[in-house]
Structure 1
Amino acid sequence: MVGNWQVAVRARPTRAGLLAVIALAMLPLAACSDEGRLILNTESGAHAFAVEVVDTAETRARGLMFRQELADDAGMLFDFKEEREVSFWMMNTLIPLDMIFIGADGVVKTVHVNARPQDPTSIPSQVPVQFVLEIPGGRSEEIGLEPGDTVEHPRIGSKAP
């Protein structure tokens, strides 16, 4: 056993072997980074956001509750897996948020700007949507986001899980 260990340690790995190990190690990161990046296309250009995806009843119910900050280029993408009317509220949410209601095709349907922290008032989508993106309050106005603009994400416009 000791002899085999010594041989393994002394053997020089090939460059191809090292590249294969590195590529395999990065696969989970690549999968996460694809789902973790979203683009909002507005008249002012393409705006990238780092997003968390929530797609179960439990994770959607918690959302961004109790978070005390959210970076300007961060957000949460809610995937309801089918188009339907949805409604949100801000109870237990400590930061103002913009809610962007998005169809399965990636088209922005409606935008609710600066939802007030801790407000229990319902914020409805007004139309059937499959996705809702929450970003920092006021950010959608800063980038000029309007209904009709488009969203790019691996789940949007595809049959992703």
Structure 2
Amino acid sequence: MTPEPANVVVCPSCGAANIEGSDSCERCLMDLTSIDIPEAAQVLKESDLALPISALRLSRAAKVAPQAAIREAIDLMRRDHVGAVVVVEAGKAVGIFSDRDVLRRVAAVPGALDQPVAAVMTPDPVVLREDDMVAAALNKMGVGGFRHIPVVRDGELIGMLTGRDVLNWVMGRYFD
């Protein structure tokens, strides 16, 4: 009995039809695990990716001054339950300090907690404008490995886009 076309995975190597879920091709034994992805995993529509990020609910950006002690930045992150703070000077985002920075740049340095956050922040952070498309935001997050990106309007900080914000948007749009 031949499987239905909807339940078939075509081997890219030999072109043989295989039952969906097969780990390897029945004809040439090529590994099919990387191409046998259920169609339901492709949830975003192309038109959704063209929406501006202002369509998403942005997180409030936690802010600190460059001269604030690292200890203060960590306390703010812990108190507000956020993974990053934006370092702001004269209303402009001049840096970002994240939980990754705590682990990579602070944890192993004795006495670092009393240094200014400017000493360990990532300077000149990648930012998004509120009218950037969702696709651009996802690209910046994926390519840069970012979980937090400050969002600006006319250069002024207005919020933070987090991986959680994007996931909540997808879940609310497709799974409510």
Q: Give the TM-score taking structure 1 as reference length.
A: 0.27
Q: Name the structure with the higher strand share.
A: 1
Choose 1 or 2 for highest CA Rg. Answer: 2
